[in-house]
Structure 1
Amino acid sequence: MTSKSIQPMAERLPDGNMQALQQFLNQSPWDPLPVRRRIAERLCEAVRPEVWVVDDVSFPKCGTASAGVARQYCGALGKRAHCQVAVSVHAATDLASWPLEWDLFLPEEWAGDQRRRRRAGIPDEVTHVPKTHLALGLLDRLAGQGMAVPVIVADAGYGRSVCFRLALEERGWSYVLAVDPKEIARSAAAEPYQPAYGGLGPPTPPRYRVAPRPLPGLVDDVVAFEEVAWRQGGKGTMTARFAVLQVQPPGKEASRTIQEHVGGRSCWNGVLPLKTLLVEQAEEAGEPTGYWMTNLPATTPIADLVRWAKMRWRIEHDYRELKHGLGLDRFEGRTWRGWHHHITLVTAAQAFLTLRRLGPKAQTPA
């Protein structure tokens, strides 16, 4: 969808006009949101997704004029570099996956630079917010369109945010999010105690005697691992050893949310809510190799938890096709509107290919 690809496109059309195509992409006022909405509806009608995957993708840039470009971590290069970063939500099943929504991350340095914003055509209402906030906005938009929200999956970049996890819970959504091993929690058996009242001021709230520990410290010999298979890979069935246990993650945000629900600090017994922790340990590994936090009950079949946790692999296929086959990262325009037009047209092309590949496999929900 760049100037390099628009020219051959125009040459293939009977009345191809390269200038008109460039204007349609970069300056035309058409709204991309209804187009992306219809694409999402059409794909979800054809195949009911098991999960929605929240992710972000980077686009390396040589200059600094393109909307949202800044020196930041660039996943495409594996280091800090000048790039744009987009947050996305993908629907996925074992059969297929496809993008549902996108937004462009605006770094803090762009927030108050009015001259730079005007040149890139960034709307006044667009401000700098964390990627987790962008993701929540995309999820809210999709849910507001009447789409059923399945289990939400994301890597540790989102899973480590307690605020993000709580926001999903407040909306009544289920999640299976990767978390860092250094995240701390207490065992399910830990209980707070009530210090004796000293007679002055309000009573001291309940507190735990045992400090929280990093997740590896909670996985001991008592935890039972079992072998679980989750999909067929190029070299056969993919399996590993997994265990499920309950933990109590600490945090001011979690405590504040509970106090609001029970009527204040004085009404809270100090017990933090239990969360389910999925732990992976490869056969040849001496210690766990992966952790996922979920608000689903520990009685959820472990095969389901593993399949959802591992479903993120599907969107790597999306990126491979979107980038190498459809030009996702080849947009040479600089404007906010142009980027959204480009990403929408690439999404439409990928949706077309997905539906063609599915053919009779597509299952329309009853």
Structure 2
Amino acid sequence: MTTTQETPDMLTGRPLGDLSRRLFGHLHRSDQQRWGHVYLQGLLRTHGKKTVRRMAAVVTGSEAASVSLHQFVNASPWEWAPARGELARWAAQSLPVRAWTLAPAVLPKRGNHSAGVHQRFLPESGRTVNCQLGLGLFLDAGQAHVPVDWQLFLPPRFTGDEAVRDRAKIPASAQARPLWAHALRLVQDMASRSGGRTAPVVADLTALCDTMPLTRRLHGGGHTFVLAVPGQTTLADPNLPPGERESVRGLLLRRGLRHPVGAGRQVVSYDTPVRGLRPEGQHIHATGRLLAEWDAGTGRPGRIWLTNITDRHPAELLDLARSPQGARTAIARMGEDFGLLDFEGRSFPGWHRHMTLVSAAYACSTLEGMGR
């Protein structure tokens, strides 16, 4: 017997109906629109693992409808970019967005045929896993983090071998790029969808890639940012002798200013130049800032962040820097309750469509909960 958990206002009423029409309104076929709505309902209403068979049974009463759901995600020729654009606009209209947060999602996989699957060492767990690596952009509203766009990291073997590319249905436009380039693409796409309204870009990608190329291109593109940097990162500084560089941890330790923020806590900051690279190749420089929470127990700075925002108090910036933790919490919940890990397919388009639908289901649930 299949059990369901339904919230009528969310699952069959206006919020889900409005979002479904916005996401799939660009599709010309009514059957595509219908199955998109059914898939969203299945992600919201099905307990446990979100297989297409179980979702079909919960929503339609017939497991046979799973064939149509599987085809809608894996084979039906619909583009996910317009749906994500509508999701981003819908969420931005409903939330007091304070940041665009980038966060990785490690999706364990079996076998080696799913698009982007590879072996990756995870420092936080100290083990190597077989996985896909997705990078999401989340709208941070303080109490909520809503995913609106994704990039899938592709190792070179998926783009350099035509047979592998064809088997995973990877389009020619998708290339093997470093993770920071995927992050930049997410920000650029969000900027193009937002009608000129932007927000600070916040991320901690230090365990996955070199973030300095991202800082230079974000600054050169006119984006504000708060990005984590490894403590051993070295920077040139006008207060140092010509040609000398010092680690960011050393700069904060020896030259940083401490700011009390209450409850015995302190933030340490140091103003330092940031470099930017414009899209046309021109290099620019401006004043930036290093900051970290001071660890009184060790007498050292904690996680270190680099920002080009200098008109806010360091404590406010450090609060913004906590945004990636909120996005990671959202990813964990998407895996537990919204089918993030349950994609039944191996193709590049199927992965992107599933991630779009999971993000929409999570957004609908989150915004409905905030409304209540």
Please point out which of 242, 246, 250 is paired with 1:217: 250
Shift of 1:15: 5.8
Please point out which of 256, 264, 267 is paired with 1:242: 267
Normalised TM-score (structure 1): 0.80
Give the 5 Å matches for 1:311-326: 311-326=323-338
Shift of 1:60: 1.3
Give the 5 Å matches for 1:67-216: 67-74=115-122, 78-147=126-195, 148-157=197-206, 160-190=210-240, 208-209=241-242, 211-216=244-249
Structure 2 match to 1:199: none
Shift of 1:226: 2.7
Structure 1 match to 2:68: 20
Please point out which of 349, 360, 369 is paired with 1:337: 349
Q: Per-residue displacement from partner, 1:232-251 (whole Å, max 9, x unpaired)?
A: xxxxx8x74212211246xx
Structure 1 match to 2:362: 350
Please point out which of 56, 59, 68 is paired with 1:10: 56
Shift of 1:70: 1.4
Q: How well do the aligned residues superpose, as a CA RMSD in angstroms?
A: 2.8
Structure 2 match to 1:201: none
Unpaired runs of at least 5, structure 1: 191-207, 230-236, 263-271, 361-366
Structure 2 match to 1:65: 113
C-alpha distance in 1 between matches for 2:76 and 2:122: 30
Letter in 2 for 1:169: H
C-alpha distance in 1 between matches for 2:157 and 2:230: 28
Q: 1:330 to 1:188 in 2, by over 3 A?
A: same
Shift of 1:101: 0.5
In the alignment of these two chains, the number of paired residues is: 322
Q: 1:228 to 1:46 in 2, by over 3 A?
A: same
Please point out which of 274, 277, 290 is paired with 2:287: 274
Q: Per-residue displacement from partner, 1:103-144 (whole Å, max 9, x unpaired)?
A: 111111222111111111111221111111111111111111
Letter in 1 for 2:266: R
Structure showing greater Rg: 1
- State the identity %: 27
Shift of 1:224: 3.5
Shift of 1:156: 4.3
C-alpha distance in 1 between matches for 2:175 and 2:56: 36
Q: 1:99 to 1:129 in 2, by over 3 A?
A: same
Shift of 1:256: 11
Structure 2 match to 1:303: 315
Letter in 1 for 2:199: P
Q: Does 1:54 align with 2:102?
A: yes
